[in-house]
Amino acid sequence: MIKILFVFMSLILAVPAYAVDGNELLEQVDRNLNPESYEAYKKLINIEPDGSKKEFVLFTVKKGKNKVAAMFISPASEKGRSTLRLDDNMWLYIPNVGRPIRITSLQSVVGGVFNNADILRLDYTSEYNVEQVEENSEEYLLHLKAKTNTVAYDKLKMWVNRDNMLPSKIESLTEDSMLIKTLYFKEIKDFGDGIVRPSVVETDSPLYKGYKSIIIFAKIKEKEFNDEVFTLTFMPNMDSLR
């Protein structure tokens, strides 16, 4: 009996006190970055190797884990254009065309290093599973794998600060772990109502040497929307939400 008890106690001691659940960590990162449903104003800046810049201002709305829409406010040449994403399906509405056009996640409606999947970002938990978690006293390193082959990036490596549970850097990779681009999360800002997150996201890519793109969040707040907002027929009317 004593021997059996000894073996039982040894097995208990061999089990770690806790195991980090990577997917729970990723869910926390999603919610710290933004509410599940929100509206936001963002400036997107594309910088070319010669230093020249092109800027866009977008009004973005999101509902749940799979619905995102955005409308261009400036420049004047883009005003009135809108984009819609439902899961992996994306469309672009151009006023003088008069009907939505299908676009893909790897294209970019603004050029530069950010593609449509970056601009119309869903929750990370909607597209990725956490396969491995590394940790030290300051941060977690989450190794993410795409749930399907329709996701823009096969793998992500996400560095998450342990104190605020916000990402500091994300590497986007191919299936063979080739680096496509790196995102840097900077300048944490209090947007009110408990939303404290990086206000600047920069990206560069070894595939676009000398180019850089930046997203600056000017405003973000929790807001609920009707499902009608995220339909093809509503795309010309996005300005009514502002």
Shortest CA distance to 85 belongs to which of 73, 103, 72, 98? 103
pLDDT value at position 98?
80
Asked if 116 and 109 touch (Cβ cutoff 8 Å), the reply is yes
Asked if 177 and 154 touch (Cβ cutoff 8 Å), the reply is no
- Judged against a pLDDT cut of 60, whether residue 13 lies above it is answered with no
Asked whether residue 6 is assigned to any structural domain, the reply reads no
Write the pLDDT tens digit of every residue in 174-207.
999 999 999 999 999 999 999 999 999 999 999 9
The CATH number of the domain holding residue 184 is: 2.50.20.10
Asked whether residue 159 is assigned to any structural domain, the reply reads yes
Asked whether residue 193 is assigned to any structural domain, the reply reads yes
* For residues 60-77, average pLDDT: 95
Using 50, 70 and 90 to split pLDDT, how confident is the model at 34?
very high
Write the pLDDT tens digit of every residue in 73-125.
999 999 999 999 999 999 999 998 888 999 999 999 999 999 999 999 999 99
Euclidean distance between CA atoms 79 and 94, whole angstroms: 9
Asked if 165 and 26 touch (Cβ cutoff 8 Å), the reply is no
- Judged against a pLDDT cut of 90, whether residue 14 lies above it is answered with no
Amino acid (one-letter) located at 229: V
pLDDT value at position 20?
77
Write the pLDDT tens digit of every residue in 220-240.
999 999 999 999 999 999 999
- Judged against a pLDDT cut of 60, whether residue 7 lies above it is answered with no
- Judged against a pLDDT cut of 50, whether residue 5 lies above it is answered with no
* For residues 160-164, average pLDDT: 96
Asked whether residue 82 is assigned to any structural domain, the reply reads yes
By 3-state DSSP, what share of the chain in percent is helix, strand and coil, each rounded to 5?
Answer: 20, 45, 35
Half-sphere exposure (CA, 13 Å, Cβ side) for 217?
25
Mean pLDDT of the chain: 91
- Judged against a pLDDT cut of 90, whether residue 10 lies above it is answered with no
* For residues 13-33, average pLDDT: 78
Amino acid (one-letter) located at 234: F
pLDDT value at position 18?
52
Question: Number of structural domains, the chain?
Answer: 1
Record the pTM: 0.88
Using 50, 70 and 90 to split pLDDT, how confident is the model at 127?
very high
Using 50, 70 and 90 to split pLDDT, how confident is the model at 129?
very high
Apex 86 CA angle, 69 and 33, nearest 5: 60
Euclidean distance between CA atoms 27 and 97, whole angstroms: 39
Asked whether residue 10 is assigned to any structural domain, the reply reads no
Residue 234's domain spans which residues? 19-241
Asked whether residue 189 is assigned to any structural domain, the reply reads yes
Shortest CA distance to 164 belongs to which of 28, 35, 36? 28
pLDDT value at position 17?
42
The percentage of the chain sitting over the pLDDT mark of 70, rounded to a whole number, equals 92
Asked whether residue 52 is assigned to any structural domain, the reply reads yes
Q: Which residue carries 């978690």 as its tokens?
A: 133
Residue 16 φ/ψ, nearest 5 degrees: -60, 150
Apex 92 CA angle, 230 and 234, nearest 5: 30
Asked whether residue 8 is assigned to any structural domain, the reply reads no
The percentage of the chain sitting over the pLDDT mark of 90, rounded to a whole number, equals 88
Euclidean distance between CA atoms 67 and 25, whole angstroms: 22
- Judged against a pLDDT cut of 60, whether residue 9 lies above it is answered with no
